[in-house]
Structure formats: C-alpha cells, structure tokens
Amino acid sequence: MTSPELGRLLSTCAKFPQQSLGGQLFETVVRSSDLPQLASVAGVVDRSALLRLRPELAFLRGFWPTSDEERASLLASVSADGVFGAAEAVQLFSNDIGPLTAVALFDHLPRPDGHTTVLLLRNRRGTVRRAVAERIARDPEALGSTLAAVSPEEVGVLELLAEGVVHQADAMRYPSSWLKAVQPSIELGRHPLQQMIVVATFLAALQVATKASLQIARCVFDPLLRSVRRHDLNRDQIAALERVLATRRASRFSLGARLIESAVATWPPEQVWAGALTLSSNEDHVRDLVEEVEQRLGQSALEAAQYDPDLPTEALARIRRRLDSPRTKSAWWF
C-alpha cells in the first residue's frame, strides 16, 4: 500500500468509533504498518491517535508537526511512562525547538534533568532560553537540579536563571543552590559581574544568612549598592530588592539605606566577628555601615568588631575614628 493510499484509509477509518469495525481496522492497520510510512501520513491523520497506538512514533522527526504550538499540544499525548522523555525531545528537535514546546517538556513529560535543562538554556533562540528560565524559576525542584548541573563558566546561563529568579515574589527558591553555582565564578573574578547576577546573589545571601553566605555577599555588595545609588537598576531588579527587603522589615526611607539596614540585621557584629562591617571597602559604604551598626547595636559592637582580621582597612579606620570622636546623632537620609 502506498503512503497516499494508507493516508486515505486511515483518515476514513478514524471517523468511526473505536469499538466499531472501522475503529478496529484503524487500530490493526496502525499497529501493523511501518513506522516511517505512518510518520509520512501523520499530516492527514490525527497524530495523537497514532501516538496512542504506536508511541515509538515520537522518536521520528518526520512524525511531528512543524508548528511550535502544534508540537506543544501533541506533547500532551505522549505517554508519561514511556521511553520518550525531555532528553529525547531536545535531541530530536535540537535548535529547532520553539518556546512553547520547550515549556511543554516540563508540563507534560517527567521533569527534565538538570543537564537537559542546561541544554535548553543554551539554545540559540532567545525566546526559548527566556521561556525556559522563567518556567524553571517557578519550579523549585527544576531550579535546584539546574543550578547543580550548570557550570560556573556558563555566565550566560546564570544570567538567564538570575533573570528568572528575580521575577519571583517574596523569596528566592533554592538560595543555597544559587550561591553554590555562582560562588566560583564570583569569588575568582572570572567574569564581569552582570547586574542580574549581582541582585540574585545578594538576595540569596540574605536569605541563607550565614557566615559563609556573607563571604559571597562581600563580592557583590559594593557593586549592588553603587548601582542602587546611581539608579542603574531596572524596574524588575528594584522590585525584587523591594520585595525581599520588605519581608525583612527594613524601614529606612531610601532603597540604599534599607539595603544597609538589612545587611546589618542579617549579619550583626558579635564578639570579635565584624559581620556586615566586612562587606565593603568603599569609604561611603563603610561610613554608612558603621553608622547603622552604632545606631542599632551601640559602640560596644564597633569596639568588638575592630579585632576581626577580615575587617577591611577602610572599615577599621572608620571605626577607630568613630570611637575616638564624641558620639553624635547619625543621619538617616543616606
């Protein structure tokens, strides 16, 4: 039987109920036909009906429609317990995959592993990369597995993920995984710090709120506060900072002041540990951190902090000048 003849037969039989003679003939012919020939007539026959009887058709590129919307819809018909999964789909469609199809991999198939997701984030089409980043940012498990799989060298992928996570409300998901993924690249200064990564990293460090997260926060605090005060951040980045700082009950007037307030509240100096006072070497930023610590914790906190070996020279000098001078009321408008 030629392909045109097969197509006409199947399209006719598909009109009959499944238990009727025509329906039974449809099933018999589909199950006995060669896969390449079935794939060739998929355009004139309901693909989902073919896929239900011959799930292995999913592995043939010729079986799938060319439309991104139709592909995404057809993925809902793929058996969730079959052998055709997200990794096979990415390999099959390669860079020809569209944004709707890429997102459908997460919605209709077993969740792609981290390696497969990273491949999608490397796709040459920006619409695909952004759609995938936004989708996994809403899925804590997918975000966690992706962060575990991404290489610190792949700054472009990290930028996409940062863009996705800063759009999320209230709190970043998997902040520890984020810090682990970006730490080597940030601490070794392998690449210029992109603003999205700076914002996401500081927010993650605030949420983790440990001495280890403070070490990473030191790498991004000065560029972040500088960008805030120069009004260099876009609306999404500002909104992300505002949301997270609001949850930490920061109450100062300006965003920069609330950033300093939250940093000191998260890493308050104690005993001989200087905490947030180690965040900066910038004289203006150091001045404001010292004033915040004194206002919040008193001069005793400054006295103890000066013995921390990690305290930057600029911070130590500012603390000693402050301790040697009469206490005056701090300004709240910075």
Domain count, the chain: 2
Q: Is the pLDDT of residue 194 over 60?
A: yes
Domain boundary among 94, 118, 149: 149
Find the domain containing 145 and state its range. Answer: 66-149
Tokens found for residue 87: 């990794």
Q: Are residues 50 and 84 in the same domain?
A: no
Point out the domain boundary residue: 63, 97, 117: 63
Q: Do 126 and 89 lie in a common domain? A: yes
Average pLDDT over residues 23-28: 86
Single out the residue of 278, 217, 207 nearest to residue 245, CA to CA.
Answer: 207
- Whether 315 is covered by a domain: the verdict is no
Residue 275 lies in a domain: no
pLDDT at position 145, please?
84
DSSP string, 143-194: HHHHHHHS-TT-HHHHHHHHHHHHTSSSS-SSHHHHHHHHHHHHHTT-SPPP
In a shared domain, residues 10 and 75: no
Residue 296 in 3-state DSSP? helix
Around Cβ 286, how many Cβ atoms within 10 Å?
A: 23
Tell me: do 74 and 143 sit in the same domain: yes
Whether residue 329 is predicted with pLDDT greater than 70 in this model: the reply is no
Query: 176: which residues sit within 8 A by CB, 6+ positions away?
Result: 204, 208
Tell me the pTM.
0.75
Inter-CA distances, 210 with 124, 241, 258, Å: 38, 19, 19
In a domain, 309, yes or no: no
As a whole number of Å, the CA-based R_g of the chain is: 28
Where is pLDDT greater, at 52 or 250?
Answer: 52
One domain, residues 45 and 70: no
pLDDT recorded at residue 319: 94
Rounded Cα gap, residues 38 and 6, in angstroms: 8
Residue 138 and residue 70 share a domain: yes
289: in domain? no
102 lies in some domain: yes
The last residue of one of the domains, among 133, 149, 165, is: 149
Average pLDDT over residues 39-62: 87
- Mean pLDDT for 5-12 is 82
Residues 50 and 97 in one domain: no
Together in a domain, 52 and 108: no
Q: Could you give the angle at which helices 3-13 and 21-32 cross, rounded to 10 degrees?
A: 150
Residues 4 and 54 in one domain: yes
pLDDT at residue 132, as a whole number: 92
> Does 248 map to a domain?
no
Mean local confidence (pLDDT), 36-61: 87
Same domain for 144 and 80, yes or no, is yes
Q: What is the pLDDT of residues 114-162, one digit of tens each?
A: 899 999 999 999 999 999 988 888 787 888 888 888 887 788 888 888 8
pLDDT band at 331 (very low <50, low <70, confident <90, very high): very low
- 101 and 144 belong to one structural domain: yes
**69, containing H or E segment:** helix 68-74
* Coil vs helix vs strand at 240: helix
> Domain for residue 110, yes or no?
yes
Is 221 a domain residue?
Answer: no
Shared domain for 91 and 145, answered yes or no, is yes
Q: CA 228 → CA 40, 173, 221, 253, 265, distances in Å?
A: 58, 23, 10, 13, 19
What is the C-alpha to C-alpha distance for residues 277 and 286, in angstroms, rounded to an integer? Answer: 7
Closest CA to 75 of 102, 115, 54: 102
Question: In this predicted structure, what is the pLDDT of residue 281?
Answer: 93
332 pLDDT more than 80? no
